[in-house]
Amino acid sequence: MIKTLLQEFHTQFDQEPLIVRSPARINIIGEHTDYNLGFVLPAAIDMEIVFAIAPNQTNHYRFFAHNLDRYLEIPTHSIMRQVGTSAWANYLLGVIQQIQLLGYQVPAFDCIFGGDIPKGAGLSSSAALECGLALAINQTFGLGLDKLQIVKLSQKAENEFVGVKCGIMDQFANTFGRANQVIRLDCRNLSYQYFPLELSDYQLVLLDTGVHHSLASSEYNTRRQQCEEGVHIIKKYLPDIQSLRDIDNVILDAYKDHLPSIIWQRCNFIIKENQRVIDVCKALEMKDIHTVGKKMFEAHHGLQYDYEVSCPELDFLVSFAANDASVIGARMMGGGFGGCTINLIKKEGVESFVQKIKEAYFSYTSISLQTYIVKIVDGTQVINHEL
């Protein structure tokens, strides 16, 4: 990819660009906890978007999306939200706008990007676009933004310019990722700790449902509101409470009669999911990979029945996996309503499991299942051209 983009850049723009790679992410456990100021346990993986970028001395930002084979020019003085076939540019334009809002000048530049992160698979190609461009601009124009500023402005670009109210997990994992380690991020104060993911005889495998149900974004926002409502109600009695992070099961149960049952159900899931992140980190420290897997199954059960963000395709994959002796953990990953499941599978069993589940999934959905064996890699970084 780097070679292809470099050649394209030389041909189109006749300049030497800076190269940045920006990875996809997984999450071991801790789903829907980020916007509830809880814990998540993500990592960057070996699928990425590569950027080639250089200043161009015009008054236009010029983008070429290699995978889509589309070109777009935007005047530097008028960054407007794009619709239809140019909507891909919003992730990039949102980033430029946020950098400007921080008080920096972003001069005109040329940018070609492309990669292998499947879109709509819940692997955060959007965060890869945002954080990748943010680092590329930071580096090209020597702005001096630090990693946390890049994370925050990228999340803001997605919230405000793209219009998706995501939490901070994806951008954080993308930028702070470290090879062979998972990051336990405390979304309340953004403190974080790396844990080595020593899988010994096991492998991380993603199974891509190939579906992305349209409910995803409206239901995501509804879940956020339901959690906020839970906090709002309990706050009437305990004014110091700011988020579900400040509520444990004892408090939640003490106010059960004051909460609509669906709200209690959602809040109960989040509180348990936070605890699961802590339990998984302890298990990682003890090199107890079986407990990690067991917690993944528990998380899926909660996401399916309590938080209700799964879908038949995800449930099919997880229950098929649960019945295979070589799989020790499986669950839906990300926002839900489609995308991938994440699976912990005994290495020697991967090949035959993948074959069986591909056939079964095809009979169930008529969709051919994409599977990805993933490695945990470093976060977004500048790449040496010689590579």
- Are 31 and 130 within 8 A, CB to CB? no
The residues pairing with 18 across neighbouring beta strands, listed in sequence order, are 53
Among 48, 110, 130, 170, binds ligand GLA (CB under 6 A): 170
**Residue 91 binding ligand GLA, by CB under 6 A:** no
**Residue 169 binding ligand GLA, by CB under 6 A:** yes
Burial class (CB in 10 A: 0-12, 13-18, 19+), 111: buried
Vertex 297, ends 126 and 219: CA angle to 5°? 45
**Residue 31 binding ligand GLA, by CB under 6 A:** yes
Among 43, 151, 166, 173, binds ligand GLA (CB under 6 A): 166
Element spanning 201, H or E: none
Separation between Cα atoms, residue 183 and residue 176, nearest integer Å: 8
CB of 181 to ligand GLA, least distance (A): 19
Which one-letter DSSP state was computed for residue 78? -
Name which of 35 and 51 has its Cβ closer to ligand GLA: 35
- Are 16 and 69 within 8 A, CB to CB? no
Name which of 221 and 355 has its Cβ closer to ligand GLA: 221
**Residue 167 binding ligand GLA, by CB under 6 A:** yes
CB of 185 to ligand GLA, least distance (A): 11
CB of 167 to ligand GLA, least distance (A): 3
Mask for 325-344, x = binds ligand GLA (CB under 6 A): ---------xx---------
Nearest to 374 by CA among 207, 146, 196, 250: 207
- Piece in contact with ligand GLA (CB under 6 A), picked from 101-109, 164-172, 238-246, 361-369: 164-172
Helices (H), 72-178: 90-101, 125-140, 147-156, 169-176
Strand order in the sheet with 191-196: 39-40, 181-186, 191-196
Say whether 170 is catalytic: yes
CB of 63 to ligand GLA, least distance (A): 23
Burial class (CB in 10 A: 0-12, 13-18, 19+), 348: exposed
**Residue 135 binding ligand GLA, by CB under 6 A:** no
CB of 165 to ligand GLA, least distance (A): 9
Among 13, 17, 26, 32, binds ligand GLA (CB under 6 A): 32
Look up residue 354 and give its amino acid.
Answer: V
Residue whose pair of structure tokens reads 């110091």 in the numeric block = 240
Separation between Cα atoms, residue 255 and residue 252, nearest integer Å: 5
The dihedrals phi and psi of 124, each to the nearest 5 degrees, come to 65, 50
**Residue 20 binding ligand GLA, by CB under 6 A:** no
- Piece in contact with ligand GLA (CB under 6 A), picked from 30-38, 83-91, 135-143, 177-185: 30-38
Q: Find the catalytic residue in 34, 110, 170, 208.
A: 170
Among 9, 35, 202, 269, binds ligand GLA (CB under 6 A): 35
Q: Which residues are catalytic?
A: 170
Can you give the binding site for ligand GLA, defined by CB under 6 A?
31-32, 34-35, 166-167, 169-170, 334-335
